[in-house]
Amino acid sequence: MSAGTSTGTGTDGYRRKLIEVALPLEEINKQSAREKSIRHGHPSTLHLWWARRPLAACRAVLFAQLVDDPSSRPKEFPTEEDQALERKRLFNIIERLVNWDNINDKALYAEAKAEIWKSCDGNPPPILDPFAGGGSIPLEAQRLGLEAHASDLNPVPVLINKALIEIPPKWAGQPPVFPGAAESRMGDWPGATGLAEDVRRYGKWIRDEAEKRIGHLYPKAKLADGTEANVISWIWTRTVTCPNPACGGTMPLARSFWLGKKKGKERYVEPIIEGKRVRFEIRGPKGRPQEGTVGRTGALCLICDTPVPLTHIRAEGKAGRMGAQLMAIVAEGPRMRYYLAPAEEHEQVIKVSRPDDVPDIDIPHNPRYLTAPNYGMDKWTDLFTGRQLVALAAFSDLVSEAREKVLSDALVAGFPVGEPLAYNGTSADAYADSVAVFLSLGVSKVADISNCLTSWKPSMDQAIHLFTRQAIPMVWDYAETPPLSKFAGGYTTSIGGMTRALEALPEGKPRSVIQIDASSRSYEGMLVSTDPPYYDNVGYADLSDFFYVWLRRSLRFIFPNLFGTLLTPKSDELVADPFRHGGKDEANRFFEKGFQRVFANIRAGALNAYPTTVFYAFKQSEGDDNGNASTGWETLLEGMIQSGWMITATWPVRTELSNRIRGLGSNALASSVVLACRPRHDSAGVIDRRGLINALKAELPDALRDLQQGGIAPVDLAQAAIGPGMAVFSRYAWVAEADGSPMRVRAALVLINQMLAEVLSEQEGDFDADTRFCIKWFETYGFDEAKFGSAETLSKAMDTSVDGLDRSGVLKSRSGIVQLLSPHELPPVYDPQADDRISIWEVVMHLAKRLDDKGIEAAGQLMASARLRIDLDTAKELSYLLFSICERRNWTKTALLFNALGSSWREIENAARSAGPATSAQGMLDLTPEED
């Protein structure tokens, strides 16, 4: 486990919740990272949204936000041992909850719900996320049986949240209305399975109708043997005219000529120069393609070898003179892809007139993450070929036609006439609206891959959708996928992924999802858990217009208020965008004032019995080279504190399967941090810098020891330490610096980090003499060689001897040279019970070796043998100290070794308990038959 701030009942009389004391952080992080590889049935497949929080983390945070820590129930759990045992039981529930494999375990969720209801005196509060985004927090609140509410200023996330928590529960248990569909299965239609079946059936109807109308735009590929095959993708390259007057040829702008990189199936494009043009042929599997013709600084004309600057390419694009040329056709084959050279028919068929009623609206100017306009792609329609616009317009219009069919079929099925979905109706119209929402989301998903900024990924032999990151970048060679296919980019493929997610959504009562600015809504009676905007991160309103313009085409009559504007609201979006607010300083002021206004409003309606939780997504680029915290991170903490909040815990949530390690002083994390906070009492006093330091010195050691003993990874210790440190700093109205000015968050973070370093160093007093010598030697020399004289001097100061340390097996002293033995240099066999000069250092080194070489079980067996000889809690402290030393010295490989040991300690302890009573090979009894 990971223990956080001090335990017990808070100073304001509230019961401290689990999230303010302890979390099984390693398992939460493990399952959050694992979740990224889960696709089938995962709610993220419903529709793309950027920076979704992991469902596992949201589920765990909500549970721990509501459930009491055992220390706040002293009558039930009077001793620390009782509390630890109960905390372990609650951790077990969380560890099972975060595992995706248990997502349909109704008994588990009933158990979790019972714990929540018990801690909330039978009346848990409604949960609200006012920055709902992708909907992870409201969805997981609903999954836990809670009353979930969501709001957002942006219509796209509002629609996504409606599709997650508002619409499906409305039709729970309803059989499908598509003719004959209800008879396709025996028994009931639980949850949203009936709705999902209708979305699937009417989606297929749309696809089949689309083929009748636009199928001629997507010809089959002709193979060498005269047969035909379905096209998976057309690979195009953009072109401009060479600026060399002696050439004037048509230049292909290809980033790469690779088509397929799978072993034995390698294929690539070979450009063949013919006069002032280039044609393309297919080569492979032998050989390699030439380098691409365009990069970050410019391009190269294949015809005359003239380097061409990007300025010329931008000018050609803005003048409307950038073209496209077909490089290859990818077709479906048995267990492989066919890569074919361009064919005239396929180049001519795309020359279609663009529809008149497509969203011909300007893309905002924001070169930080919208770079396509730099090349003349100024309007949203410019991101699509003419053929793609015809297809998307046809699919969008068919959604409206399908809605009419659903309405007719619903009336036949016995639905009443009444209010539509926008007015919370349960009529035939409301059901038809609901199906249309999901059908329209399917078109929106197709747009993400059916555009002219979609890349072809040779290593996967498939097209990759536009939004692989939070940007709309320029792409030189792009893949055009047919929306009628069964592959990526096909409408039925998008609908299929969506319906699997829809069927897996939790059952619950339909709750409110509204469009509203977070600074102006009411928070009365609501408990907030949210993932707010992060300072100067990407403005999602700009990016989401890409989807909005197509969703609006199908849904503006279903949700006239939600889709009443041409584009998403921009001016009130809470983000520090210098391009939108007239410069960096103005943008910062806009964000900071808006952030404080939102959290002041949340505080006004806060429920004092529970902590509010806030996610902060940390960008690795935010920290500076001097180890200072990021501006965004500081702004979040500063804004919370100035809005009257007290930070009670900070928990690093890692969603990346990565071994990257950052410095302790940077407070960096792999992905995000969760803050628990409560309203600061209005009568909070003032303290000076010296008083704060004294308070930190008094409270941090116990809190950090709890963190270490809990099971938090050493790499996360600095971030988690901010929780108890900030709890001290933020409990005061303000902290006075020596000159009387208020202390800022950055200065407080520096103090907390200093205290952390001091506490870790002071723990050396808990160690035996041999271990203290090894620590001091390690700090200076690591596992490198050094002179005997230095070792002899240090050994006398530490009341030990070099010869004794040599005999004990922790170092070697030969010919005037002394060297600590690294874990990998230790002997493979070690018996702590037979060691006549055992030390904490020696056991920790052997544990690190055993874990790295043989895993948890083997390390557990060693720990079981050592536990009667040394204090294991002290040994664990050493693993954290060694990690911090390695970080300071940038010994990354060794740091990873000790981080793994510290973060696996709980699992090793479990394995040690399973190993039974401690025994040694020498101590085992040889039982005779009479004794047996």
pLDDT of residue 356: 84
What phi and psi values does residue 886 have, to the nearest 5 degrees? -60, -40
pLDDT of residue 227: 92
Is the confidence at residue 154, as pLDDT, over 50? Answer: yes
Mean residue pLDDT across the chain:
88
pLDDT of residue 929: 35
Give the Cα separation of 865 and 163 in Å (integer): 55
What residues form DSSP beta bridges with 455? 464
Cα radius of gyration rounded to whole Å, the chain? 32
Q: What is the 3-state secondary structure (H, E, C) of 295-353?
A: CCCEEECCCCCCEEEHHHHHHHHHCCCCEEEEEEEEEEECCEEEEECCCHHHHHCCCCC
pLDDT in tens, 441-490: 999 999 999 999 999 999 988 999 999 888 899 999 999 999 999 988 89
Give the Cα separation of 522 and 597 in Å (integer): 12
Mean pLDDT in residue range 622-648 = 70
282 vs 7: which has the higher pLDDT = 282
Is the confidence at residue 431, as pLDDT, over 90? Answer: yes
pLDDT of residue 2: 47
pLDDT in tens, 239-256: 999 999 999 999 999 999
pTM of this prediction? 0.85
Q: Is the CB of residue 513 less than 8 Å from the CB of residue 160?
A: no
278 vs 705: which has the higher pLDDT = 278
pLDDT in tens, 734-749: 899 988 899 998 889 8
Mean pLDDT in residue range 770-774 = 92
Percentage of the chain surpassing pLDDT 90? 65
Is the confidence at residue 856, as pLDDT, over 90? Answer: yes
Measured in whole angstroms, the distance separating CA 282 from the mean position of its chain's CA atoms is 39
Confidence band, pLDDT 50/70/90 cuts, at residue 537: low
pLDDT in tens, 321-373: 999 999 999 999 887 789 999 999 999 999 998 888 888 899 987 777 888 99
**Cβ contacts of residue 9 below 8 Å, gap of 6+?**
15, 16, 72
Q: Is the CB of residue 488 less than 8 Å from the CB of residue 466?
A: no
Query: Cα separations (Å) of 117 from 98, 111, 696, 788?
Result: 19, 10, 35, 65
pLDDT of residue 50: 87
Is the confidence at residue 260, as pLDDT, over 80? Answer: yes
Q: Is the CB of residue 59 less than 8 Å from the CB of residue 95?
A: no
Give the Cα separation of 406 and 428 in Å (integer): 8
Amino acid at 489: G
Is the confidence at residue 628, as pLDDT, over 50? Answer: no
Is the confidence at residue 175, as pLDDT, over 50? Answer: yes
Give the Cα separation of 119 and 15 in Å (integer): 9
Query: Which of 399-408, 512-521, 573-582, 908-917 has the highest average model confidence (pLDDT)?
Result: 399-408
Mean pLDDT in residue range 13-21 = 88
Q: Which two three-digit tokens encode residue 214? A: 């636009």
pLDDT in tens, 705-726: 777 665 677 777 777 888 888 8
Q: Supply angle C-alpha 739, 742, 746, rounded to 5.
A: 110
Is the confidence at residue 704, as pLDDT, over 80? Answer: no
